[in-house]
């Protein structure tokens, strides 16, 4: 989440239960504040200069002063809040409660809960379309998006998408809603006029975060499983190029003043600043690891069935595939 007026970017540090503010121009920390357990998304409310974080493992929303990082309030919401949607015109914050399958509605001025919207299992990321009165909530476990009325807090419909939708971004300029299907490795483009799925764009592994530029021309997609950002042309729906960033990029934000793309890398605990991200980089030099072409070193591992020790010598002179599996 960026604040171009203050020249700051705010980062949710989920593993440290904190929020860090950094200077956008110098890329240095300004302040760091503790919040609830496992903060995931951040929303900045400019009229009040307050930050809101959804603290997934605390079932709360923390409210901070954006200038100082001082805690203003902590609001109880639903079970495992993992997504936030902001409607500054209606002075409302929408909280997607993943374990509860609901959306909690918070008054951003009074910091009180106004109501609850029914969604589906895995409710998380939320986008509210400015001026339309319509909100969209990604339901990770249900493979769907709940459409709701931001005024009456009533559900309006359901959009079926692919597996594991974990982020929604509205693009009023292009009249599209973008849905990151993390388990399917695609981005669904949905019409904001008809709520119909227009097409799917393949990206790399586990897309989880997105942002769109102000003109609605380009969508930037964080591919957590690949360590890259896909750059999509919103007109054609095609990927123009990819940007290599840090490990497990979780989300991104654009600085509207300089156009710099800021990417938070959850796996490496770093930020990547990309200058002119709309331009493809030159070809990277090809490097070969020094062990390529060398004999495989001997090693041994216990068999999962029975615990018998198996060694590479058993398959000498044979072709085989070794699959080292790890969760990201």
Q: Both tokens of residue 170?
A: 């509205």
Q: Cα 4 from chain centroid?
A: 20
Extended strands (E) in 235-284: 238-244, 249-254, 261-265, 270-274
Token output for 230: 């896909």
Q: Which of 80, 38, 77 is nearest to 61 (CA)?
A: 77
Residues contacting 160, CB < 8 A, separation 6+: 143, 144, 197
Q: Which residues pair with 271 in a beta bridge?
A: 264
**Is the separation of the CB atoms in 237 and 195 below 8 Å?**
no
Q: From first to last of the 328 residues of the chain, give the pLDDT tens digit.
A: 788 888 899 999 998 999 999 998 888 999 999 999 999 999 999 999 999 999 999 999 999 999 999 999 999 999 999 999 999 999 999 999 999 999 999 999 999 999 999 999 999 999 999 888 899 999 999 999 999 999 999 999 999 999 999 999 999 988 999 999 999 999 999 999 999 999 999 999 999 999 999 888 999 999 999 999 999 998 888 999 999 999 999 999 999 899 999 999 998 889 999 999 999 876 555 667 777 777 777 878 787 777 788 887 777 777 767 666 554 4
- Displacement of CA 233 from its chain's centroid (Å): 19
Q: What contacts 304, CB < 8 A, 6 or more positions away? A: none
Tokens of 116: 């609850």
Given this model, what pLDDT does residue 282 score? 61
Supply the pLDDT for residue 67: 93
DSSP structural state of residue 280: P
So what's the pLDDT on residue 84?
A: 96
First CA to last CA distance, the chain = 23
Residue carrying the six token digits 């440290």:
16
Domain coordinates in residue numbering, the chain: 2-160
The set of residues, in sequence order, having a beta carbon less than 8 Å from that of 291 and lying 6+ positions away, is none
Give me the architecture of the 2-160 domain, per CATH.
7 Propeller (2.130)
Instruction: With beta carbons less than 8 A apart as the criterion, state whether 165 and 207 touch.
Output: no
Q: Which pLDDT value is given to residue 185?
A: 94
Q: What are the b/e assignments for 8-36, b being 16+ CB within 10 Å? A: bbbbbbbeebbbbbbebeeeeebbebebb
> Measured at the alpha carbon of residue 321, what is the angle toward residues 316 and 327, in degrees to the nearest 5?
135
Instruction: Please give the angle made by the CA atoms of 74, 18 and 223, to the nearest 5 degrees.
Output: 115
Among 48, 16, 8, 9, smallest CA distance to 33 is for 16
């Amino acid at each position: 989440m960026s604040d171009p007026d203050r020249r700051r970017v705010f980062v949710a540090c989920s593993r440290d239960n904190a929020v860090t503010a950094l200077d956008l121009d110098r890329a240095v920390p300004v302040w760091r504040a503790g919040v609830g357990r496992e903060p995931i998304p951040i929303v900045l409310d400019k009229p009040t200069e307050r930050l809101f974080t959804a603290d997934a493992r605390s079932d709360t929303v923390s409210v901070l002063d954006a200038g100082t990082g001082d805690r203003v309030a902590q609001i109880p919401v639903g079970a495992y809040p993992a997504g936030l949607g902001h409607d500054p015109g209606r002075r409302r914050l929408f909280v997607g409660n993943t374990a509860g399958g609901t959306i909690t509605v918070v008054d951003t001025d009074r910091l009180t809960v106004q109501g609850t919207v029914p969604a589906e299992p895995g409710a998380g990321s939320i986008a509210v379309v400015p001026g339309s009165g319509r909100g969209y909530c990604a339901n990770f476990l249900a493979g769907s998006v709940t459409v709701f009325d931001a005024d009456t807090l009533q559900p309006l419909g359901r959009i079926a998408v692919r597996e594991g939708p974990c982020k929604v971004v509205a693009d009023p300029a292009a009249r599209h809603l973008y849905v990151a299907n993390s388990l399917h490795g695609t981005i669904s483009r949905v019409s904001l006029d008809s709520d119909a799925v227009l097409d799917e764009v393949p990206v790399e592994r586990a897309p989880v975060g997105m942002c769109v530029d102000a003109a609605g021309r380009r969508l930037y997609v964080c591919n957590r499983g690949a360590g890259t950002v896909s750059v999509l042309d919103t007109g054609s729906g095609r990927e123009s190029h990819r940007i290599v960033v840090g490990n497990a990029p979780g989300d991104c934000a654009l600085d509207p003043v300089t156009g710099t793309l800021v990417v938070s890398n959850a796996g490496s605990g770093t930020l990547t600043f990309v200058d002119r991200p709309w331009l493809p980089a030159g070809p990277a030099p090809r490097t070969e690891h020094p062990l390529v072409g060398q004999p495989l070193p001997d090693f041994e591992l216990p068999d999962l069935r029975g615990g018998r020790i198996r060694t590479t010598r058993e398959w000498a002179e044979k072709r085989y595939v070794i699959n080292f599996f790890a969760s990201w």
